[in-house]
Chains A and B, each alone.
Chain A
Amino acid sequence: KQEVTQIPAALSVPEGENLVLNCSFTDSAIYNLQWFRQDPGKGLTSLLLIQSSQREQTSGRLNASLDKSSGRSTLYIAASQPGDSATYLCAVEEGTGGGADGLTFGKGTHLIIQP
């Protein structure tokens, strides 16, 4: 059974710092990996999606990398801002693809950016 682990569980850093969030998964036979952001009491917002054939994706100050063979992904946030404070979730799609099996999520990293 696929398991997704995110480290650290919580992180607090001063504004302006660059930071890295880590995600690992036990079964490397994935079809894609997504990073989400969740604000308190809210739903999830998809940030980046990396197909299994890709190595990285970038959106603004965010960069996500994928090393499928080692079962790892990182989310890099450059020049962090207080508005980046949220819980960041990593999720993988496996099975036969096509969305039929949904996603397997990690527990998330709770990030606080101090002004």
Chain B
Amino acid sequence: ETGVTQTPRHLVMGMTNKKSLKCEQHLGHNAMYWYKQSAKKPLELMFVYNFKEQTENNSVPSRFSPECPNSSHLFLHLHTLQPEDSALYLCASSHTGPFLEKLFFGSGTQLSVL
């Protein structure tokens, strides 16, 4: 266990559905991240939250909506997704400061959009 828990592990949804991914960290970190991992592509940073404030939105389509109610919880709300959004969505957390410390990742949510 890395101390970062993601639910659900697997999700299948239609293009008209609305669903949410959840991430929780028990490490006392102040920063949380969403990454997307597609087949044969590098991990892509989606969103960064530092002390609950969003500091990065890496040109992500508006059909992905993040929410960070506190430093321990992070959500990714999904609506009207496209089949090309099928991927492994990974949450991570870390301490931040002058330099980024090690990132701790959850096991991910494998998303399939039909």
Contact = CB atoms under 8 A, between A and B. Distances in A.
Contact of A105 (B31, B43, B106, B108): B43
B108 A106 contact: no
Contacts, number: 87
Contacts of B55: 100
B60 to A, nearest CB: 12
A102 B96 contact: no
Contacts of A41: 88, 107-108, 110
A103 B45 contact: yes
B104 A46 contact: yes
Contacts of B108: 41-43
Interface in A87-103: 89, 91, 93, 97-103
B110 A98 contact: no
A58 interface: no
Interface residues of B, number: 35
B72 to A, nearest CB: 16
A91 B6 CA distance: 22
Interface in A67-115: 89, 91, 93, 97-108
A51 B55 CA distance: 22
B98 interface: yes
Given A43-B108, A46-B104, A103-B103, A98 B98 contact: yes
Contacts of B102: 34, 46, 49
A91 B101 CA distance: 13
A41 B106 CA distance: 11
B55 to A, nearest CB: 5
B43 A49 contact: no
B103 A4 contact: no
Interface of B: 2, 4, 6, 31, 33, 35, 40-43, 45, 48, 50, 55-56, 58, 88, 90, 92, 94-108, 110
Given A41-B108, A43-B92, A105-B43, 6 more contacts: A43-B2, A43-B105, A43-B108, A49-B101, A100-B56, A100-B96
